[in-house]
DNA sequence: ACCTGAACACCGTTCAAGT
DNA sequence: ACCTGAACACCGTTCAAGT
């Protein structure tokens, strides 16, 4: 039986590189340990010397992705004048959106397990469609100062959905916290639709 | 070989009921077709007479969940006076958040495949932590009118993340659309932090 | 100490055979 | 027409044996 011995960090890096290439190509679900070890040119058992499970590998890739993006973004934020907080906020929002778009393929492959992604698209999500109706009617009635109600609906839907998910994830039992988050969400709605 | 013949819709319903119970108990990933058919008291092959795959079953369960919640919510919205668009918007936001919380267990079990849920929690997400820094500093400096910057960060992080995901999902190539969504996101930030 | 790969266990899917 | 369950294929994980 042939055997090579490499520096452990390098072996691990080989496995990570192989996994990243496969995930980018076919997504998390269709990645197999067999393919990872074939690409990294190691035996199947070797994989389990470096990762506890396939799941842990995926988590490691996700963490690395977020860390890389955050590092890039911090560099961008440092270009803003100290003290210009609105400028920093706007830069944070814009560079986050652009960063995700730029790395869309990998991001989707890494995080988007199912194909049913709880889309904010009102065309397929009846829940979001209700929101579009409200925002369009309210804008037509002159109650809301929105230039594009449909886009506004996408934003607010995501604010709601992500925040609900966050509360669930935190397993938040404290009613005060829950109420505070809800109140703040309503505030965001009010301020946003009223314009400036 | 013993065999029972039931009305097809009833068989299908039995399978759905069994699957729902299992998903609520142990999540989508650990649901097995073996367990579904055992619980529904049919043979394994029968499952594939009613569903093309395990994946299609999950999608059907998810669709039913969203539809049920939307129906509940429409009823709530109909209690608001016609013409009170801000009232409807605020009710939409509040009842959505409460609806998700009330059905948190099932919702999470159905939609939350991995355990690494891209949390908006600044404690574990360095990307969200940057936003907290900005909002807290800007509030301290008197530039932002936010009562709880940390909560505001959760909201805006989710606005950003969900919206980015939406753009990716739509596979939006048209730069005009992308720019319009980004501009609207920045507008939301401005209006929100400036207060009313 | 690091690596190998055969063996195992589990589970989604199919299909020839039953009523 | 509807149902069965054994058989198949695939893949994550383990482990006794190799250098």
pLDDT in tens, B95-146: 888 887 788 788 888 876 654 455 678 777 878 888 999 999 999 999 999 9
For the segment A79-88, the average pLDDT, to the nearest whole number, is 89
Closest residue (CA) to C1' of nucleotide C5 is A43
Q: Say how far A185 CA is from D17 C1', in Å.
A: 61
Mean pLDDT of A135-148: 95
How far, in whole angstroms, is CA A64 from its chain's centroid?
13
What is the C-alpha separation between A8 and A1, in angstroms, rounded?
20
**Residue B47 above 70 pLDDT?**
yes
Is a pLDDT exceeding 60 seen at residue A115?
no
Count the Cβ atoms, other than its own, within 10 Å of residue B97: 21
Residue A116 predicted with pLDDT over 50:
no
Q: What span, in angstroms and rounded, lies between the C-alpha atoms of A153 and B43?
A: 46
| Least confident interval from A134-138, A191-195, B73-77, B142-146 | B73-77
Q: Which of B71, B74, B93 to mutate to test the interface with A (most CBs of A within 10 A)?
A: B93
pLDDT of residue A113: 65
What proportion of chain A, given as a percentage, has pLDDT over 90? 52
Residue A121, Cα to own-chain centre: how many angstroms?
17
* Nearest residue in B to A167, CA atom: B101
Give pLDDT, residue B118: 56
Does residue A191 surpass a pLDDT of 90? Answer: yes
Alpha-carbon distances, residue B145 vs A125, A191, B72, B135 (angstroms)? 33, 11, 35, 10
Confidence of residue A166 (pLDDT cuts 50, 70, 90): confident
Give the model's pLDDT for residue B184. Answer: 95
| Predicted pLDDT at B116 | 47
Arithmetic mean of pLDDT over chain B: 88
Most confident of A3-7, A32-36, A80-84: A32-36
pLDDT tens-digit series, residues A14-47 = 999 999 999 999 989 899 999 999 999 999 999 9
The pLDDT of B175-193, averaged and rounded, is: 93
Q: Is B138 exposed, middle or buried (0-12, 13-18, 19+ CB in 10 A)?
A: buried
pLDDT of residue A114 exceeding 60, the answer is: no
- Chain C nucleotides close to protein (CB under 7 A) are 2-7, 10-16, 18-19
What predicted TM-score, i.e. pTM, was given to this entire model? 0.79
CB A157 within 8 A of CB A126: no
Q: Report the pLDDT value the prediction gives residue B1, as an integer from 0 to 100.
A: 59
Strand D, nucleotides < 7 Å from a protein CB: these are 2-7, 10-16, 18-19
Between residues B188 and B166, the one the model is more confident about: B188
Largest CA distance in chain A: 78
Q: Which of B157, B160, B163, B191 lies closest to B177, judged by CA?
A: B163
Predicted confidence band of residue B2 (pLDDT cuts 50, 70, 90):
low
At residue A178, does pLDDT exceed 70? yes
Mean pLDDT, range B7-18, rounded to an integer: 92
The percent of residues in chain A predicted with pLDDT above 70, rounded, is 94
Residues from chain B that touch A156, judged by Cβ atoms under 8 A, are 93, 159
Q: Do A161 and B158 touch (CB under 8 A)?
A: yes
Task: Give the residue with greater pLDDT, B13 vs B120.
Answer: B13
For the segment B30-57, the average pLDDT, to the nearest whole number, is 97
With CB atoms and an 8 Å threshold, state whether A184 touches B152: yes
- Taking residues A56-60, report their average pLDDT: 94
């Amino acid at each position: 039986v042939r055997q090579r011995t490499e520096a452990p960090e390098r072996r691990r890096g080989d496995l990570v590189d192989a996994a990243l290439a496969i995930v980018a190509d076919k997504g998390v679900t269709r990645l197999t340990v067999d393919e990872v070890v074939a690409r990294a040119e190691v035996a199947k058992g070797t994989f389990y010397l470096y990762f506890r499970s396939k799941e842990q590998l995926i988590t490691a890739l996700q963490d690395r992705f977020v860390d890389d993006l955050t590092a890039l973004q911090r560099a961008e934020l440092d270009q803003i004048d100290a003290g210009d907080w609105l400028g920093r906020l706007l830069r944070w929002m814009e560079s986050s959106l652009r960063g995700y778009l730029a790395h869309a393929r990998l991001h989707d492959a890494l995080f988007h397990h199912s194909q049913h992604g709880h889309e904010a698209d009102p065309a397929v999500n009846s829940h979001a469609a209700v929101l579009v109706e409200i925002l369009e009617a309210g804008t037509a009635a002159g109650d809301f100062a929105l230039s594009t109600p449909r886009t506004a609906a996408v934003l607010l839907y995501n604010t709601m959905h992500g925040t609900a998910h966050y509360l669930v994830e935190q397993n938040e039992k404290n009613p005060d916290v829950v109420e505070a988050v809800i109140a703040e969400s309503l505030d965001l709605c009010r301020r946003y639709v009223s314009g400036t």
